[in-house]
Structure 1
Amino acid sequence: MSEKKAQTRERILQAAASAMLQRGPQEPGVADVMSAAGLTVGGFYAHFASKDALMLEVFEQLLRRRRDLMALLDSSLPGEERRTLAASFYLSRKHRDATHSGCPLPSSLGALPQLPETYRTLLAEHLEVLSAEMCDSPEEADKALADLALMVGGLALARALGAGDLSDRILRAAKSAVI
């Protein structure tokens, strides 16, 4: 792939990631993504076979970025402490208000049942890897999954409400349940 084609492809992926974080994987159309990337629709198929192929790749990239951030936590800390640190960041106002970055799950979960099975497979793999990284033993894995569910649900509710007292209370309550 030429350097120019690779750069154009990356622009499309970045525009699609921003769109997914704001509106989920179904709503943004190819025209929306290409316009946000500063490109015409006609060039889309030189880079991706379909909108589904693009959005699936973006979903995978966004999930991988979340795992990469989690991997930065000190693995020598006990699992409970790693989950506490993760919750402190994940359930923060800064993360709630980050509409162009952050976790794709709050904007995507509702659409997953209508999307191809590959989305759910990616999500399952993501949750398995994250929960394993957030615990010290297989016996602790269910607690890590519960904490992940609480974090995603808390962030989804807080983002849905937007900045405000109830949203802040939800973030604090979910964080204290993990911590």
Structure 2
Amino acid sequence: MNDKKAQTRERILAAASTALLQRGPVEPSVGEVMGVAGLTVGGFYAHFESKDALMLEVFEQMLCQRRDLLGALDQELPADQRRVLAAAFYLSRKHRDASDQGCPLPSTLGELNRLPEGFRQALAQHLELMTAQLAASPEEADKVLADIALMVGGLALARALGPCELSDRVLRAAKSAIL
């Protein structure tokens, strides 16, 4: 792929990432994504087969970035301490209020039944890889999955409430259940 085409593709992916975080993978149109990227709709199909293909690629890319952040935690720390650090960031106001970056799960999970199977497969793979990153042993896997479910659910509720005292309480309560 030449540099110009690769740069254009990255602009589309960046615009789609923001759209996915803010509105989920179903609602944003190709025209909206391309407009944010500063491009015309006509050029879309030179880069992606369909809107679903674009959104799946963005979803997978964003999940990979989340795992990379976990991987950046000090691997010398015990697994339970890494989980506490991950929860402290994930369940923070800063992460809740980030409109153009962050975890795509809260905006995507409710729409999975309307999306191609690849989204479920990407989610399942992500959960398995995150569990492996955060569990010290196979016996801890269920505890880690419960913590992940609590973090995603807590963040989804907090984002739905918006920045307010109750939202802050949801974040604190979920965090304290993991700590």
TM-score after normalising by structure 2: 0.99
Q: How does 1:109-128 map to 2 (within 5 A)?
A: 109-128=109-128
Q: Counterpart of 2:162?
A: 162
Stretch of structure 1 that moved more, 13-22 or 70-79: 70-79
Q: How does 1:147-158 map to 2 (within 5 A)?
A: 147-158=147-158
Q: 1:76-133 deviations in whole A, cap 9, x for unaligned?
A: 2111111100000000000000011000000000001111111000000000100111
Q: How does 1:16-35 map to 2 (within 5 A)?
A: 16-35=16-35
Structure 1 stretches lacking a partner, 5+ long: none
Does the 8 A contact of 1:15 with 1:36 survive in 2? yes
Q: How does 1:132-147 map to 2 (within 5 A)?
A: 132-147=132-147
**For 2:145 and 2:76, how far apart are their aligned partners in 1?**
20
The residue type equivalent to 1:97 in the other structure is: D
Structure 2 stretches lacking a partner, 5+ long: none
Q: How does 1:60-71 map to 2 (within 5 A)?
A: 60-71=60-71
Does the 8 A contact of 1:78 with 1:135 survive in 2? no
**For 2:102 and 2:145, how far apart are their aligned partners in 1?**
19
Residue identity (%): 70
Q: Counterpart of 2:91?
A: 91
**For 2:74 and 2:149, how far apart are their aligned partners in 1?**
22
Structure 1 stretches of 4+ moved >6 Å: none
Q: 1:12-69 deviations in whole A, cap 9, x for unaligned?
A: 0000000000000000010000000000000000111111110000000000000000
